[in-house]
Structure 1
């Protein structure tokens, strides 16, 4: 069953997105956009609550006996990069595109979810509850975002996370573990045969990170991927360095826990390996989950996503889906098509209409 969506709902979502673009909301500085979101909900007769810069609300006829679906997207943005040719905070429509920082990631998803929440807010016949959460600090995986908000929400059974997927169904997502590695040598004069060069000692470790293949490969997400992204050693040309430090970006599939991958790494390299966090885990949802099946019934396709979102911090099953294109995220002169915004609202409403959670 596809429920008709009032044109005013789409227009309101677009107007809200323009206001969000015009209001800088870098991570940890989202207060003004939180105000805008709370005002939007209030204008539709919806009382919201706030935890830090996170804004949330629940449907009018919330019933603790029913399962609860979380609608979540974020309202923080990355910093505009130096390649912008437009004012990143000036919402401009040209040739069907709405330009502006955060328009695609993830403003379009956020306003589409908010419009969807407004649409269903007063319904008395829902088979589930709705909780809407506009979260902060997603772009930095900060502790002041969805992680801070979750304890204040009612129990959640499943989450729909708004990120640009062209409205396709990302049913799995890689986790992230960043490692700081240190190899120790012994300083000496470069002109003499003395000291123990930490750079030379680090080479086998660097080679291992480049070539090692984890045995278990995910059917959706592929292999675990690890990349050395930063390396530092030495202070003078004539001194053998006694320390070499390097950073490794590890993208982990559902085939391994972060702890399992960390144990494998420590067993194979000589460097001291310190993870910055083991919070950002691989996430996903079963193919036979009613939320996924509802998407498939609408002709959507499934895939595994290599990019990280707030899903990594959600302990319940979660589906990532939203308007926009992931490849536009964090790019100069970011934009989203107006027709994508309409498809977002209509698509979300269609996904939720008739949904039965068990």
Structure 2
């Protein structure tokens, strides 16, 4: 059994290797191999499904409930404002710099260390599954969404994302709508036609002003933002017959996407079509044992405005991890080494309380 100090040292060493190995979404083969090698060094047999690394504790018992530990090993492309080499792990003044250090490398190596800590321990109340997932940054179909279909039944999950180790118990859903306003083409000089832009603007104004009735104490109100608008017409003297626009919709846990769509359709003339309804809002009950364990540790609960692999899990999940979401995708991304050390300790402590 590894000590927490030894696990921390190995976690930092692995994170430095991960930083220095490019792992853009859909191109995570090399980091998957690094994670497999780390687990093998710890005596853990793991397997690959695509670029997802999967493992289970040594004394896995199908008769017990199972907790999933999950974080991702893909990254976005470097912010163009980097002043450091994004693929060089630089340790300076208690910080570890590098692409993916904060999102979500620190979470990933902390959860890996936690899995190793419990791996061969007897008499656990829960089995422990581990998934280091791919394609999280693009919400890809070959990441956690594919993996959960081949896992044994999961009772709940801890999803490693940077939350300053506080408990994100709810998460906004994301739905993108393609909207189309229809008019009638005509010559601008002769006051002909029905201008689709004017029709679209009326609906866009509604999107801007409308307030949904149910406001979440964790996530606040639903938010709708029109982010793109265009017509196919390029001639200055033709009244456009069609105007298309895009609406970014962030949904709290009190509404389903279907309810939101039905409400929108009652108020606007434009046609709307959702691109996807996969990234749904989620929440975990405050009474859940893992949340109660966190509260006993003095942790706070909040609702997260950002989406994660949690949205694609058909079981309760707590999002929690070292690092700060505000640093994600920024230039010269970093994580404090102390955050990793404390992350490992807190992950182990919260699981001990339910084990």
Q: Same fold (TM over 0.5)?
A: yes
State the match for 1:46 in structure 2: 44
Shift of 1:194: 1.4
State the match for 2:68 in structure 1: 70
State the match for 1:110 in structure 2: 108
CA contact under 8 A between 1:5 and 1:346: conserved in structure 2?
no
State the match for 1:230 in structure 2: 228
State the match for 2:90 in structure 1: 92
The Cα offsets for residues 240-297 of structure 1, whole Å up to 9 and x where unpaired, read as 2222111111111111111110111112111110101111111121111110011111
Q: 2:47 & 2:277 partners in 1: Cα distance?
A: 29
Q: 1:239 & 1:25 partners in 2: Cα distance?
A: 48
Unaligned 5+ segments in structure 2 are none
CA contact under 8 A between 2:4 and 2:345: conserved in structure 1?
no
State the match for 1:320 in structure 2: 319
Which of 120, 123, 133 in structure 2 is aligned with 1:122? Answer: 120
State the match for 1:307 in structure 2: 306
State the match for 1:339 in structure 2: 338
Please give the residue correspondences for 1:214-293 in structure 2 after superposition, counting only pairs within 5 Å: 214-233=212-231, 234-293=233-292
CA contact under 8 A between 1:183 and 1:202: conserved in structure 2?
yes
> SS state of the match for residue 152, structure 1?
coil
> SS state of the match for residue 255, structure 2?
coil
Q: 2:18 & 2:165 partners in 1: Cα distance?
A: 21
> SS state of the match for residue 33, structure 1?
helix
Name the Cα RMSD after superposition. 1.3
CA contact under 8 A between 2:4 and 2:344: conserved in structure 1?
no
Which of 22, 25, 36 in structure 1 is aligned with 2:23? Answer: 25
Shift of 1:162: 0.4
State the match for 1:169 in structure 2: 167
> SS state of the match for residue 191, structure 1?
helix
Q: 1:5 & 1:249 partners in 2: Cα distance?
A: 46
Q: 2:220 & 2:125 partners in 1: Cα distance?
A: 36
CA contact under 8 A between 2:181 and 2:199: conserved in structure 1?
yes
Shift of 1:239: 2.3
- Is 1:83 matched with 2:81? yes
CA contact under 8 A between 2:2 and 2:117: conserved in structure 1?
no
Unaligned 5+ segments in structure 1 are none
State the match for 1:138 in structure 2: 136
Q: 1:256 & 1:6 partners in 2: Cα distance?
A: 42
